[in-house]
């Protein structure tokens, strides 16, 4: 199996060559920090992200998601790299959508590295996991607002989720939605997708990759009618928030929701039957 530069080959635990297309500024003051996790699939190398995003305000900056444990040291390294070339205040907030490893696995390390930061969101269990920083863990509910100085993060309902108190976050300034598990889809390294927006990757196959990711990670979708979730997503994104960019934890960022959302919605509808037609 080929080893892709900058990608973590989970089967081999390879040494990581120095190249990775990330970090990347995907909107003014919003940086994408991550590296790919790659798993062999049907003769190709399938990639997935457990991304973290950095939102920069005037008085503070915020991580949104922490990366899975495997990635957290890389997230911190990319943050330090950005600080060499950008004016980035100390992190004051760490927003986590929920307490699963791919979303908050790096929380303890980030709180240790940045002692003035507090964590907000679904922080279930974290007082049992990181007891030394329990006083810096705070639940947040939809409608809560956080000021980074000239920039506000708003807590949004988690429309598509696994754990019950999952929260999404919205950067009001650039109208970027951070939907955690929402809009999760894998990509193929060989398609040149790593580090790119969905719209920059013509061969992305959003429908198939969305359905396939759900087959692995969102088993509950096989037993429910997904249409009410699709309807709520449409209303939230286009009517209520007027979202300009969607920065999912597991997918490629979506820079043109109007153009790309139809394929994502088709992928959501394909989840229920994906395994039946053969994921192998």
Partner 1 sequence: MSTGQVVTVDERRLYALVHPYELDGRPSSHPVEVRGHSTMNCYLLLEDDAALLYSTGYSVHEEALLAQLSDLVGDRKLTLVIPRVEFPSMCNARPIADRHDVERIYLRLPTNASDLLNFREGHAIDATDSLRSIPTSTMPDGGHARIGASGRRLDFIFPELRLLPCNWAFDVDTHTLFPGDVFAWIWHDRPDGPWLLDDRTDDPTTPERVATFLLRNRYWWLAGADVEPLRESVAQLFERYDIRVIAPDHGAILRGAAVDDHREMLDAALAEAGRQEPVGVEVGRWTSTPVVS
Q: Which is nearer to partner 1, 3 or 129 (CB)?
A: 129
Q: Is 243 helix (H, G, I), strand (E, B) or coil?
A: coil
Does residue 86 bind partner 1 (CB under 8 A)? no
Q: Which of residues 210-249 bind partner 1 (CB under 8 A)?
A: 216-217, 219-220, 223-225, 228-229, 232
Task: Check residue 1 for interaction with partner 1 (CB under 8 A).
Answer: no
- How many angstroms from the chain centroid is the CA of residue 19? 21
Q: How far is the CB of 47 from partner 1 (least distance, A)?
A: 14
Cα dihedral 78, 82, 83, 88 sign? negative
Instruction: Compare residues 72 and 193 and give the one whose CB is closer to partner 1.
Output: 72
Contacting partner 1 within 89-118 (CB under 8 A): 99-102, 105-106, 108-109, 111-112
Nearest Cα neighbor of 64 from 93, 98, 95 is 95
Structure tokens at 159: 């429309």
257 binds partner 1 (CB under 8 A): no
10 binds partner 1 (CB under 8 A): yes
- DSSP-based three-state secondary structure for 44: strand
First to last CA, the chain: 19
Number of residues in contact with partner 1 under rule CB under 8 A: 55
From 25, 90, 127, 273, residue interacting with partner 1 (rule: CB under 8 A): 127
* Three-state DSSP class for residue 225: coil
Of residues 146-175, those binding partner 1 (CB under 8 A)? 157-159, 161-166
Encoded one letter per residue, x for contact with partner 1 by CB under 8 A and - for no contact, window 48-67 reads: --------------------
Q: Which is nearer to partner 1, 200 or 240 (CB)?
A: 240
Give one DSSP letter per residue of 143-196, joined into a string: T-EEE-SS-EEEEEE-SS-SSTT-EEEEETTTTEEE-TTTT---EEGGGT-TT-
Stretch that binds partner 1, among 84-92, 134-142, 247-255, 258-266 (CB under 8 A): 134-142
Query: Would you say 19 or 223 has its CB closer to partner 1?
Result: 223
Region of 69 please: left (phi>0), alpha (psi -120 to 50) or beta: alpha
Q: Is 7 helix (H, G, I), strand (E, B) or coil?
A: coil
Write the secondary structure of 61-94 as one string of H (helix), E (strand) and C (coil): EEEECCCCHHHHHHHHHHHHHHHCCCCCCCEEEE
Residues of this chain that interact with partner 1 (CB under 8 A) are 8, 10-11, 13, 39, 68-70, 72-73, 99-102, 105-106, 108-109, 111-112, 122-133, 139-142, 157-159, 161-166, 216-217, 219-220, 223-225, 228-229, 232
């Amino acid at each position: 199996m080929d080893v892709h530069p900058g990608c973590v080959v989970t089967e081999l635990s390879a040494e990581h060559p120095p190249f990775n297309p990330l970090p990347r500024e995907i909107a003014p003051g919003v940086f994408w920090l991550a590296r790919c996790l790659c798993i062999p699939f049907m003769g190709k190398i399938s990639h997935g992200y457990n991304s973290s995003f950095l939102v920069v305000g005037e008085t503070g900056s915020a991580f949104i998601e922490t990366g899975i444990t495997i990635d957290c040291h890389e997230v911190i390294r990319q943050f330090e790299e950005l600080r060499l070339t950008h004016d980035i205040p100390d992190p004051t907030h760490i927003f986590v959508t929920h307490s699963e490893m791919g979303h908050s696995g790096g929380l303890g390390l980030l709180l240790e590295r940045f002692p003035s930061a507090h964590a907000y969101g679904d922080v279930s269990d974290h007082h049992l996991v990181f007891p030394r920083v329990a006083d810096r863990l705070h639940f947040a509910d939809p409608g809560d607002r956080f000021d980074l100085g000239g920039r506000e993060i708003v807590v949004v309902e988690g429309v598509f989720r696994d754990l019950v108190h999952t929260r999404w976050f919205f950067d009001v300034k650039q109208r970027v939605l951070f939907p955690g598990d929402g809009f999760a889809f894998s990509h193929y390294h060989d398609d040149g997708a790593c580090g790119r927006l969905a719209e920059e990757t013509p061969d992305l196959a959003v429908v198939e990759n969305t359905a396939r990711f759900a087959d692995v990670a969102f088993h509950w979708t096989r037993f429910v009618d997904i249409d009410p979730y699709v309807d709520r997503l449409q209303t939230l994104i286009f009517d209520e928030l007027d979202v300009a960019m969607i920065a999912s934890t597991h997918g490629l960022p979506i820079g043109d929701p109007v153009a790309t959302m139809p394929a994502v919605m088709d992928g959501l509808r394909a989840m229920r039957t994906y395994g039946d037609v053969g994921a192998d």
